[in-house]
């Protein structure tokens, strides 16, 4: 079945550092890929998405490119802020298992120090 | 203008009790979900309803019973609560676009969560 693997956290960076959170997936067919963010005490919010190979999703300075050849969707940001501290989830839906089911990675906790 | 709302936000109860969590979405979506998030933040789908019909039922104890009175509501009833049921439960909704095939996707909108604590 479909699965998503994220880099283990927690990740701690200083403000203005470059961020990469790795995400790889296993799926057949044509999955769509997502990054969700969960701020402390809140629900999940969609951060960005890509629905086909080579698409780049971007939002709030974050970017991720759907790489079918490496089955990856790494999240990057050039200069992080304290307000980016949260848990980040990579997820996929679709492929041959149908579009309804959203499969999440284990989450990566990010802490940004001033 | 809350898109997906859940009640209650916090629920503290004794082992063996029966409790319900309610979810409502005003986005006009046709599919709703329940997820469980454990203490390590791992998220796992429990159920999904499409137009009031159950379409996903993961390996969940039958003490958990979802009910969808209409496509805007999906409630979760839990019987005989156990300590291991303590978690945060999230409701979500989506409008599936082109199920299957290139370009299909399923952008889900999540509620704020219900933190259930079983004592």
User: pLDDT tens per residue, chain B (119 residues)?
Assistant: 679 999 999 999 999 999 999 999 999 998 899 999 998 888 988 988 888 888 888 878 999 999 999 989 999 999 999 999 999 999 999 887 655 555 566 788 999 999 999 99
CB nearest to B110's CB, from A44, A96, A101 = A44
Q: Distance from A64 to chain B by nearest Cα, in Å?
A: 16
**In 3D, which of A1, A10, A25, A8 has the Cα closest to residue A91?**
A25
**In 3D, which of B45, B44, B43, B63 has the Cα closest to residue B54?**
B45
C-alpha dist (Å) from residue B5 to A53, B9, B32: 34, 9, 12
Tell me which chain A residue has its CA closest to the CA of residue B108.
A46
- Asked if B106 is an interface residue toward chain A (Cβ–Cβ < 8 A), one would say yes
Residue A72: strand pairing partners: A24, A67
Read off the pLDDT of residues B78-112 as tens digits, 9 standing for 90 and up: 999 999 999 999 999 988 765 555 556 678 899 99
Average pLDDT score over chain A: 91
Question: Cβ–Cβ of A93/B105 closer than 8 Å?
Answer: yes
* Collapsed DSSP state (helix, strand, coil) of residue A95: helix
Q: Distance from A20 to chain B by nearest Cα, in Å?
A: 20
Chain A residues with beta carbon closer than 8 angstroms to that of B56 = 100-101
CB B116 within 8 A of CB B86: yes
Question: Cβ–Cβ of B44/A101 closer than 8 Å?
Answer: no
Q: How far apart are the first and last CA of chain B?
A: 34
Measured CA to CA, the distance from residue A102 to residue B56 in angstroms comes to 11
């Amino acid at each position: 079945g479909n699965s998503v693997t994220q880099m283990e956290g927690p990740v701690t960076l200083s403000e203005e550092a470059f961020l990469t959170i790795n995400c790889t997936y296993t799926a057949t067919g044509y999955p769509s890929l997502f990054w969700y963010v969960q701020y402390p005490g809140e629900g999940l919010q969609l951060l960005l998405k890509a629905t086909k190979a080579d698409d780049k999703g971007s939002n709030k300075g974050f970017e991720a490119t759907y790489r079918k050849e490496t089955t990856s969707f790494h999240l990057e940001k050039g200069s992080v802020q304290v307000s980016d501290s949260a848990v980040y989830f990579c997820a996929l839906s679709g492929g041959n298992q149908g579009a309804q089911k959203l499969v999440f990675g284990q989450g990566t906790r990010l802490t940004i120090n001033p | 203008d809350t898109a997906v709302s859940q009640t209650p936000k916090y629920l503290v109860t004794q082992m063996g009790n029966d409790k319900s969590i309610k979810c409502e979405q005003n986005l006009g979506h046709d599919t709703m979900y329940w997820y469980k998030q454990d203490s390590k933040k791992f998220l796992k789908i429990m159920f999904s309803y499409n137009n009031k019909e159950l379409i996903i039922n993961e390996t969940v104890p039958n003490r958990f019973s979802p009910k969808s009175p209409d496509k805007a509501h999906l409630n979760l009833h839990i019987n005989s609560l156990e300590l291991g049921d303590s978690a945060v439960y999230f409701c979500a909704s989506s409008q599936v676009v082109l199920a299957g095939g290139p370009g299909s996707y399923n952008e889900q909108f999540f509620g704020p969560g219900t933190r259930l604590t079983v004592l």
